C-alpha cells in the first residue's frame, strides 16, 4: 500500500526471487544428482553473516545441501589455498558416500577477504564449474568474450536483467549510470553492458561531478556502500533507481539510496529490503543449478 505522497512503483525483488526459487525447486526434484554449495568465510563480519543466513534459508527450501567453512582472519593465503583444495575434493567425496556422484558443487568465497590475503590467487583457484559467483579470471574472462546466451551470468547481472524484463524497462534506449566499480556490482554490470554494446557511465563516490551525471540518468544502479549517497534532489523525475549497495548501521543493513526522498521523484525504485538482495541470492542458486545440469 502506498501513501498519498509516494510516486514510484516498488520493484518487488522478493516476489520475483520466490518465483525463481519455485521454478528451481521443480528442477532440483528432477535431478538425480542434487547440487551442493560450500561457503568459505574468513573472519567475522555481521553483514556477511546475514547474507549467509539468506543463502541457508534458500538452500533449505530447495533441498540443496550447504556447508559453511569458517576460518580465522589470521589464516595465510597458503593455508586457505590448501583448505580450498580439500573443499573442492571433500564435497564430492561426502556426496559419493551418500551414493550420489556429484561433480558440480558450487563454491562461494565470501568477499571481502582480509587485506593480507592474495584474493586474486584464492579466487582463481576455484574450478570454473564451481564458480557460481564468476569471480575467477577464467569465469569472468569466459563471460566477457562469450556471445553464447546460455552462459551463466554473474549473480548481479542476472538480477538486473530480470528486473529489466519483469518491469519492461527498455534499457537499451536509456541513459544508464553505474555508481561504484566494485567486484560484485559495478564491475560485472559494466562488463555485461560492454558485451551488449550499451552506452553507460560508471562513477565512483569520489567522482568530482557525480551530481551532474545522476541528474541526467534514466537508470541508476548503485553498489557503493555509502549511506544516503543518492538523495531525491540529485535525481531526474521519473528515474529508475536500483540499489545494490550495503552498509551496516547498528543491526541494520541499508543501501546507498535515500528511499524516502527518492520515492517521491523516481518512477521505479527498489525497496530498502526485498529489492536486489533476494534476487542476487536466487540468481546464485540458478547458477548452481545451471552448472550442475551442464556437468551431466
State whether residue 173 is helix, strand or coil. helix
C-alpha cell at 130: 564451481
Q: Is 259 in the site for a second copy (CB under 8 A)?
A: no
Q: Which of 20, 62, 102, 123 binds a second copy (CB under 8 A)?
A: 123
Q: For a second copy, which is the closer residue by CB, 98 or 199?
A: 199
In angstroms, rounded to a whole number, what is the distance separating the alpha carbons of residues 280 and 29? 22
Closest to a second copy by CB, 16 vs 157, is 157
Using rule CB under 8 A, residue 138 touches a second copy: yes
Q: Which residues of 222-237 are buried (b: 16+ CB within 10 A; e: fewer)?
A: bbbbeeebbbbebbbe
C-alpha to C-alpha distance for 296 and 63, rounded to whole angstroms: 19
For the bound state, the minimum distance from the C-beta of residue 60 to a second copy, rounded and expressed in Å, comes to 32
Nearer to a second copy, 27 or 207 (CB): 207
Please give the full DSSP string across 99-151, using - where no structure is assigned.
T------EEEEPSPPPTTS-HHHHHHTS-GGG-TT--SHHHHHHHHH---TTS
Q: In angstroms, what is the minimal distance from the CB of 181 to a second copy?
A: 5
Interface size with a second copy, residues (CB under 8 A) = 35
Helix (H/G/I), strand (E/B), else coil: 8: coil
Q: Which of 135, 185, 240, 241 binds a second copy (CB under 8 A)?
A: 135
Q: Which is nearer to a second copy, 194 or 273 (CB)?
A: 194
Is the four-CA dihedral 183, 23, 171, 195 of positive or negative sign?
A: positive
Looking at residues 150 to 179 of the shown chain, list those that interact with a second copy (rule: CB under 8 A).
Answer: 173, 175
Least distance in Å: CB of 17 to a second copy?
28
* Residue 148 near a second copy by CB under 8 A: yes
Interacting span for a second copy (CB under 8 A) from 101-109, 161-169, 180-188, 252-260: 180-188
Q: How far is the CB of 139 from a second copy (least distance, A)?
A: 7
Grid cell listed for 11: 520493484
Residues 6+ apart with CB under 8 A from 291: 35, 104, 106, 129, 130, 132, 152
Stretch that binds a second copy, among 44-52, 119-127, 228-236, 285-293 (CB under 8 A): 119-127
Which contiguous run of DSSP H or E holds residue 9?
A: strand 9-10
CA distance 56 to 201: 35
Q: Which is nearer to a second copy, 33 or 142 (CB)?
A: 142
CB nearer to a second copy: pick between 89 and 146: 146
- Going by their DSSP bridges, the two strands 252-254 and 247-249 should be labelled as antiparallel
Q: Is residue 137 close enough to count as binding a second copy by CB under 8 A?
A: yes
Q: Which is nearer to a second copy, 88 or 210 (CB)?
A: 210
Contact flag: residue 146 with a second copy (CB under 8 A): yes
Which residues of this protein are in contact with a second copy, per CB under 8 A? Answer: 120, 123-124, 135-142, 144-148, 173, 175, 181, 186-187, 190-191, 193-194, 197, 199-204, 207-209
Amino acid at each position: 500500500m502506498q501513501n498519498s505522497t509516494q510516486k514510484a512503483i516498488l520493484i518487488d525483488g522478493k516476489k520475483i526471487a520466490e518465483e525463481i526459487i519455485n521454478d528451481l525447486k521443480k528442477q532440483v526434484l528432477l535431478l538425480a544428482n542434487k547440487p551442493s554449495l560450500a561457503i568459505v568465510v574468513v573472519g567475522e563480519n555481521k553483514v556477511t553473516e546475514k547474507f549467509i543466513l539468506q543463502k541457508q534459508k534458500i538452500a533449505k527450501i530447495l533441498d540443496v545441501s550447504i556447508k559453511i567453512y569458517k576460518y580465522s582472519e589470521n589464516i595465510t593465503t597458503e593455508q586457505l589455498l590448501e583448505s580450498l583444495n580439500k573443499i573442492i575434493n571433500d564435497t564430492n567425496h561426502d556426496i559419493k558416500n551418500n551414493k550420489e556422484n556429484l561433480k558440480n558443487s558450487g563454491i562461494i568465497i565470501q568477499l571481502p577477504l582480509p587485506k593480507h590475503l592474495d584474493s586474486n590467487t584464492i579466487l582463481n583457484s576455484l574450478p570454473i564449474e564451481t564458480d557460481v559467483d564468476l569471480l575467477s579470471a577464467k569465469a569472468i574472462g569466459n563471460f566477457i568474450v562469450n556471445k553464447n546466451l546460455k552462459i551463466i551470468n554473474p549473480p548481479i547481472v542476472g538480477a538486473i536483467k530480470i528486473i529489466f524484463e519483469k518491469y519492461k524497462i527498455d534499457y537499451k534506449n536509456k541513459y544508464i549510470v553505474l555508481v561504484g566499480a566494485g567486484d560484485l556490482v559495478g564491475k560485472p554490470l559494466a562488463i555485461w553492458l560492454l558485451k551488449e554494446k550499451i552506452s553507460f557511465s560508471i562513477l565512483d563516490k569520489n567522482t568530482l561531478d557525480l551530481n551532474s551525471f545522476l541528474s541526467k540518468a534514466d537508470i541508476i544502479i548503485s553498489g557503493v556502500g555509502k549511506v544516503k549517497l543518492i538523495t531525491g534532489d540529485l535525481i531526474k523525475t521519473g528515474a529508475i533507481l536500483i540499489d545494490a549497495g550495503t552498509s551496516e548501521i547498528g543491526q541494520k543493513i541499508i543501501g546507498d539510496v535515500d528511499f524516502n526522498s527518492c520515492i517521491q521523484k523516481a518512477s521505479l525504485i527498489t525497496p530498502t529490503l526485498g529489492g536486489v538482495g533476494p534476487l542476487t541470492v536466487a540468481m546464485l542458486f540458478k547458477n548452481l543449478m545451471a552448472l550442475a545440469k551442464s556437468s551431466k
